[in-house]
Structure 1
Amino acid sequence: MGDSWRLGIDIGGTFTDLTIINNETGQLTNIKTPTVPADPAQGIANGLALLREKGINPQDIDYFVHGTTIGLNTLLQRRGETVALLVTEGFRDLLNLQRLRLPIPYDFRSRLPEPLIPRERVFTVKERLRHDGSVHTPLDMDSLDEAIRGVLASGAKGVVVCFLHSYKNPVHEQQAVARIAELAPGLGVNASSVLWSQMREYERAAMTSVNMYIQPNVQRYFETLQERLSGEGVRTRPFITQSNGGIMDIGTAAEAPVRTLFSGPAAGVIGAVQAARSAGIGNVITFDMGGTSADISIIEGGEPTFTQTNQLAGMPIMLPSVSMYSVGAGGGSYAWIDNGGLLKVGPESVGSTPGPACYGRGDKAALTDAFLLCGYLNPERFAAGNVRLYPERSAQAIQPVAQHLGLNEREAADRMIQVAGANMYAELSAVMEQHGFDPREFSLLAFGGGGPVTANFLAEEIQAQSVLVPPSPGTLCALGALTADFAYDAVLSLQQRFDDYPFEQLVREYDRLADQARTWLEQQQVSGLEGSTLYYSMDARYAGQAFEIELPLDRFMLEAGKGERIAEAFHELHRRQYGHSDEAAVLELINLRVRLVGHTQKPVTVSLPQADSELKPVGQRTIVYGGKEYEAGIYSRAAMKAGHQVEGPAVVEQDDTTVLILKGWYGEADGSGNLILKRKEVLA
């Protein structure tokens, strides 16, 4: 019997990354191939062909997990399905009114985002529930039938049902869904109480609309993916990464594609957690720079941070997800001159087609072109030699920018890098202030194709403790997908005073949520899990507050009936987050949450042998940064062993990225294969 393999895939805006692990030996292989925007599944097929060239048969793949951006791109490009909405009578303008807040409070010209469903496709139904879920006005079937006829006449291919207070009692939504199935069996239906059974009707309606809007495109892609994989000989069932850093089966993802919107970046953070643990570093700022953007996330104490609320294209996405922030441009972001004559870089990107000018097809000067002209990149071995770079095309593309600035092409490229770095520093500073942490206590973990090229600049600016570059940073998102656990978040909306709610009932509700999570995990039909863990929390606030905070709980508090300990923990958390607390105030429970994590098999950490001699450079070339030229040694990452040190300025080349080490810094390889950049002089 031959070897078996586990495959993780991440499709980015520029490259499709594949990471495959041999189940028997732990051998890890990484592949990068250009993304095919018009047919993302073809990029996967191209990657499988490259694996065949390395002697890996797709038929031997017994575990497949995939991060997708289909839903994300559908929403951003507004290319989704024609959708209608059924709402409670009197709430037709729900999506238009939104929260009545300007997106930019100090800019009166800023506008609320255009709803995915225009008012003419919103239909009202006579029914009404009270805030506690009791029926005020029974569902009027004649009114419902008239609304369904209106939906069909509007040409909508799908319909969202979102009635007032349905999170407390879904009975009217359930009746409406059943009636739609009778009168319009070919119509797609999403009920808000099924997707997100929590308070706040606008957020619930908007997010369910997003789900229905992107669902047909995502389902078509999943069908194409399964057909393509079958044609390539892959026989295992695919799993899909979620925004919460977990994975789920492809059927579940097809029903709730809104849960996959941030799946790619979230997988990268999960990969970063594994890398930080292997290096023994607990506090990390992840820095993921790909072809179209640069994103960061915060890891504290070895654990990723999560949020219950997000926004995308102006739409609220009220689902648990890994906390992420966009802080700048990607390798494909191109230079332009604004109306005031200032040099700008991004946010627009050339993507993978046509790509940066150095790819040989485009004519815009992107950051990758700047990296190439400044000497950071080797044109002969970019993306493991699978992508040939043309420096002369970069110089030609950047020439108009250089002429405007009165500089030569290399100087203009250096300015581009400085502008991009300044933008990233400004955005990252805002995140650091928001979280209130000292960057000197954190390391910057660089990944993505462009992260290791840029990270040392950013670390220098924020005075980070060090820079951690994992063994395969260019494909860390694919590795993160492959090492991600199954994860499910169960939630129950309460809106109850804590002191009025029986503690025994609280425990029963948590047990019910835990059973719901366990049932979900069983439905995933996955074998080989290495156990599971339940995490408990509650959304709570002081009575009268508009928004709540999430309070983590341990099972001991519930089993021991420690109601007073829960209240004390909330006061302490509120004081830590807002600088004050009120022990005399009434505590209000909003939501109970249970998160289940099914632990998947993790790859064996491969130890580097200890160095027994000095690492020699394989070459030398001139690099430019900060307006100065430096002679930099060129080193091969593949030749590095534990204990090897590289003094900056230097360039470390590997198949999936390039690491730039600045003057005044040095890089050292650890026993797990990580490259850690440190200052020669420690900051006071």
Structure 2
Amino acid sequence: MNGRYRLGIDIGGTFTDVTLLEQESGRLVSLKTPTVPSDPARGIVNALHRLKETGVTPEEIVYFVHGTTIGLNTLLQRKGARIALMVTEGFLDLLALQRLRLPVPYDFRSRLPEPLIPRQAVFPVRERLLHDGAEHWPVDTEMLDRTIGEIAEAGYEGVAVCLLHSYRNPVHERQVAERIRRLAPGMVVCLSSELWPQMREYERAVLAVVNLYIQPSARRYFRGLRERLAEEGLAVEPLITQSNGGVMDIGTAAEAPVRTLFSGPAAGVIGAVRLAEAAGIRNVITFDVGGTSADISVVTDGRPAFVETNQVAGFPILMPSISIQSVGAGGGSVVWLDSGGLLKVGPESAGSSPGPACYGNGGPAALTDAFLLCGWLNPGRFAAGSVALYPELSARALRPVAEALGLDLASAADRVIQVAVANMYAELNGVLEQQGIDPREYVVLAYGGAGPLLANFIAEEIRAGGVLVPPRPGTMCALGALNADFVHDAVRSGRMPLAEIKPAELKKRYEALAAEARGWLENQRFDGIEGHRFEYSMDARYVGQSFEIALPIDPAELEGEDCARIAGRFHEAHRLQYGHSDPGAPVEAVNLRVRAVGLTRKPPLERVPDAAGPARPAGEREIYLRGERRRVPVHVRAELAAGHEIEGPAVIEQDDTTVLILGGWRGRVDAFGNILLRRTGEVR
């Protein structure tokens, strides 16, 4: 690929992060610019203008990849399109009934989320397929034509179609789509059987509805982004990151924006995996703290944890994504007191506008204000000096909280930080317990603007094996986007008893899925894919169970006479996950999955020179830490070399974040510029 630069951008709730790679030298440039919530593309244009000031012209950029939260924000704010849903006759209450489970099982006042489509916008289709996909009743075309007329007359922007058992046989959904396009040209149609043909009707319907609901907003944004980039002179076709950690071309993203819902945090995990591997660390807990939230994920043996269903605003998103847990506690999280006078931090965020009080835009007291009042931040170096901070405004905003608590300002700020850490610990501890993980075998990998400030506290709380701070933690998600491959997941559902189905039949079905996934890769509008690979897996369960266990499948297992080896691995996986198994019980596969990975060129890892002597601080600063004032050394990250060691407590400053090392810990710089924190003895 000719050209000088590759550009990765991630739009967060507070900052738009940028990582630029100069292809010939391997040099990386990172910067942050405030996000413009009302016009996210404006933040990208502002970043391009800042790059121009350094001599980088848009015409020289030949690779552009971008993580977006447009779809997620549209769904959370419920500002999507006015759409209709067509379902099998007799199932009009599909969205209202949901799964008949309380969102919080022990709270009888908890309520299911209000459907995105009201009951009057759900229309019946007289047809019926059996569980094996065989046709029981054909589509009643006369009734269908009348229904299409009603939908068109009502002015709906699009129609989602989810018919019973269409995951086994899409013929009826395709017939419905054909007649809609014939009788209502211009009406947008989303078929559940094409978007994600997996068993479970309600979840499949929700996925189709969400995709169509957010699609107009996503398309408008992508169209506007293309126009703005062209105006700036950037001619390359943008790529968009996905929830599964991969990328896709912008045309594919416009058709299936539901695949982008968790794209930003997922890209950060991909970047974290690459950097941890270079540091020789296989087990990490990623800890991404930005301005709005803290995102946590677990990587075991170099592989991120995936989930097949995620939750957004109470809705199940039945599509593979990197497993990420979010806590509403970031640098912009608002500080407040509840009705009982209890100190709270988040989940509401001040964002980038107005931002925390210290931004000078009239914002409320937030976690960043507490960092500033405790002396952890350098007001003149925040976001490389692009955002001025005003400690006196932080003091003014936090003073009412301090007075209500009967504390001085520094003590109140310290208490705010303790509450934020407690919130993060509670969420992370639940994740570790649920997955049966011993944190002593894991290292906390800190990134995001505030992650390196808080990671040492979290590592102490969970007794993790250490903390790893990469060279550019503040722009990790943008760097991760540059490291991402093209990834496509394909699935087929059906009940397949392992005692009855032959490996040859499974192999045939996997090869059909692989061909579908290969076609997706070939249709991507990008000519830089450097090879590909396929990963097979299946969801299996004991006959009669309602939930499955994901099993990776070695293609060699599909060459035998029977599936006994696969069944044996399922029994062992069930024992490890639930503490028991039943080797005599029949096992069935319900979903076959193929992941196609189109390999892309990765940014080279920069090395730092070896240290010629001990690390020398640039100065000292008084900070307030754990109820005490103390003077600590302040180091400049750019001056650290491989082999340098720093004893805590200490502060390390850099353009995109600040690193805080606690007492009882020592940081050591490795050959790639990572700082690895380990305990030196009893933590003080």
Q: Same fold (TM over 0.5)?
A: yes
For the Cα contact (< 8 Å) 2:379–2:388, is it kept in 1? Answer: yes
Instruction: Give me the whole-angstrom Cα distance separating, in 1, the residues matched to 2:349 and 2:625.
Output: 23
Inter-partner Cα distance in structure 2 for 1:530 and 1:640? 36
How far apart are the structure 1 equivalents of 2:337 and 2:682?
39
Q: What count of residue pairs does the alignment treat as equivalent?
A: 683
Q: Indicate the residue corresponding to 1:239 in structure 2.
A: 239
Which residue of 2 is the match for residue 432 of structure 1? 432
**Pairwise mapping of residues 612-623 of structure 1 onto structure 2 (< 5 A)?**
612-623=612-623
- CA deviation digits over 1:151-176, x for unaligned, max 9? 22333111111111111111111011
**Aligned AA (2:4):** S
Which residue identity is paired with 1:608? Answer: V
Q: Distance in 1 between matches of 2:495 and 2:456?
A: 48
Say whether the 8 Å CA contact 2:499–2:562 is kept in structure 1.
no
Superimposed CA distance per residue, residues 111-157 of structure 1 (whole angstroms, 9 cap, x where no aligned partner): 00000000011111111111111111110011111221222233311
Deviation at 1:328, TM superposition (A): 4.4
Paired residues of 2:503 and 2:560 also in contact (CA < 8 A): no
Mapped partners of 1:570, 1:97: distance in 2:
33
Q: Once superposed, what is the RMSD of the aligned Cα atoms? A: 1.3
Q: Please give the alpha-carbon distance, in whole angstroms, between the structure 2 residues aligned to 1:190 and 1:430.
A: 37
2:65 is matched with 65
Partner of 2:280: 280
**Counterpart for residue 153 of structure 2:** 153
- Where does 1:146-225 land on structure 2 (aligned, <5 Å)? 146-225=146-225
Which residue pairs with 2:468 in the alignment? Answer: 468
Distance 1:132 1:626, change over 3 A: same
Residues 551-590 of structure 1: matches in 2 within 5 Å? Answer: 551-561=551-561, 563-590=563-590
- Please give the per-residue CA displacement for 1:188-237, whole angstroms capped at 9, x wherever unaligned: 11111111101111001111100000000000000000001111111111
- Mapped contact 1:3–1:22 kept (Cα < 8 A): no
1:491 and 2:491 equivalent? yes
Code of the aligned partner of 1:217? S
Q: Which digits, 9 at most, give the CA deviation of each residue in 1:485-519, with x for residues without a partner? A: 11011111121222222322111111111111111
Q: Is the 8 A contact 2:3 2:62 kept in 1?
A: no
Moved over 4 A (4+): none
Q: Distance in 2 between matches of 1:250 and 1:315?
A: 25
Corresponding residue for residue 40 of structure 1: 40
Give the superposition deviation at 1:525. Answer: 3.6
**Do the aligned residues in 1 keep the contact of 2:354 with 2:361 (CA within 8 Å)?**
yes
- More displaced 10-residue stretch of structure 1: 324-333 or 222-231: 324-333
2:633 aligned partner? 633
In 2: Cα distance, 1:497 partner to 1:660 partner: 54
Q: Percent identity?
A: 62
Asked if residue 364 in structure 1 is aligned to residue 333 in structure 2, the reply is no
Aligned to 1:527: 527
Q: TM-score, normalised by structure 1?
A: 0.98
Cα-to-partner distance string for 1:416-440 (whole Å, 9 max, x where unaligned)? 0001111111111111110111111
CA distance in 1, matches of 2:429, 2:604: 36
User: Partner of 2:227 in structure 1?
Assistant: 227
Do the aligned partners of residues 207 and 549 (structure 1) sit closer, same or farther apart at CA in structure 2, a change above 3 Å counting? same
> Over residues 455-478 of structure 1, what are the superposed CA-to-partner deviations in whole Å (9 max), with x where a residue is unaligned?
111111111111000000000000
Q: How does 1:373-452 map to 2 (within 5 A)?
A: 373-452=373-452
AA aligned opposite 1:555: P
Residues 38-80 of structure 1 show CA distances to partners (whole Å, capped at 9, x for unaligned) of 1111100000001111111110111111000000000000000
Q: CA deviation at 1:526?
A: 2.4
Tell me, in whole angstroms, the C-alpha distance in 2 between the residues paired with 1:153 and 1:199. 33
| Distance in 1 of aligned mates of 2:129 and 2:2 | 61
Mapped to 2, the partners of 1:562 and 1:519 lie a distance apart of 30
- Structure 1 residues 552-561 or 93-102, which shifts more? 552-561
After TM superposition, give the deviation of residue 291 of structure 1 in Å.
Answer: 0.6
Shift in alpha-carbon separation, 1:640–1:3, aligned structure 2, 3 A: farther
Counterpart CA distance in 2 for 1:680 and 1:480 is: 32
SS at match of 2:51: helix
Deviation of the 1:566 alpha carbon: 1.0
User: What is the alpha-carbon distance in structure 1 between the residues aligned to residue 94 and residue 194 of structure 2?
Assistant: 19
Q: Give runs of aligned pairs for residues 448-459 of structure 1, distance below 5 A.
A: 448-459=448-459
Give how far 1:2 is off.
9.5
Distance of 1:629 and 1:593 partners within structure 2: 56
| Unaligned stretches of 5+ residues in structure 2 | none
Partner of residue 319, structure 1: 319
Structure 2 letter corresponding to 1:29: V
Tell me by how many angstroms 1:569 deviates. 1.1
Alpha carbons 1:329, 1:420 under 8 Å: kept: yes
Shift of 1:562: 5.7
The 8 Å contact of residues 328 and 427 in structure 1, kept in 2 or not, is answered as no
Q: Which residue of 2 aligns with 1:25?
A: 25
